[in-house]
Amino acid sequence: MSTIRTTARTTGVALRAVLVLTVLLGLAYPLAVTAVSQIALPAQANGSIVTSGGKAVGSSLLGQSFADADGTALPQYFQPRPSASDYDATASGGSNLGPSNPDLVSTTEKRRAEIAARERVAPSEVPADAVTASASGLDPHISAAYALLQVPRVAEARGMSADEVRRIVESMIQGRDLGFLGEERVNVLQLNLALDAASARVGESR
């Protein structure tokens, strides 16, 4: 009888502990974190959504394609890094191929030749991030060097001066984190939106 009471008491204590912890960690804590994030950092808490004309056009955290239905790069837009996941946020990931893998080497050289032809430069001038996907496959940034490489093509496609497009790029360059971590970079989506806005102003002034 004593053993039964002890077991029942222990079971009751365990069940109450589970209930209390479920309420605290499964309900109260997530709700508190959500409330604080919505008040302090609402944009980040909701996915860092970027809007244009009142409509969501993407996230500043996720790379996306600027190509037509056939996969051909749209000349009037700056192009992002390649994506091993085809810019699918539900399939984020890299190729997992090592630098000596012949398939990766072949793919990289093919991309280098295509980009060199598109931007009308020598293959040696194509930056590394232009031909390699990031670990996530969804890097929203490109290097400042790759952005500046695309300036002549974008300017020509939009009927804008190269100097004007270059100034837009330079205004969008983000510095190293904390002044020394990482490299200078440009968010492709935000750059293209700034470019659209500038093109619209040019069109209105003509």
What is the per-residue pLDDT for 187? 97
Domains of the chain, by residue range, sit at 1-46, 48-205
What is the per-residue pLDDT for 174? 94
- Alpha carbon distances (Å) from 117 to 59, 70, 111, 114, 185: 30, 18, 10, 5, 23
168-179 residue pLDDT tens = 999 999 998 888
What is the per-residue pLDDT for 6? 81
What is the per-residue pLDDT for 88? 85
* Angstrom distance (rounded) from CA 165 to CA 199: 10
Write phi, then psi, for 52 (nearest 5 degrees).
-145, 125
CA 106 remoteness from chain centre: 25
What is the per-residue pLDDT for 204? 62
Spans of the chain below 70 pLDDT: 1-2, 41, 43, 202-206
Neighbours of 47 (CB within 10 A): 14
What is the per-residue pLDDT for 137? 85
What is the per-residue pLDDT for 167? 97
* Angstrom distance (rounded) from CA 70 to CA 155: 23
Q: What is the pTM of this model?
A: 0.80
What is the per-residue pLDDT for 11? 86
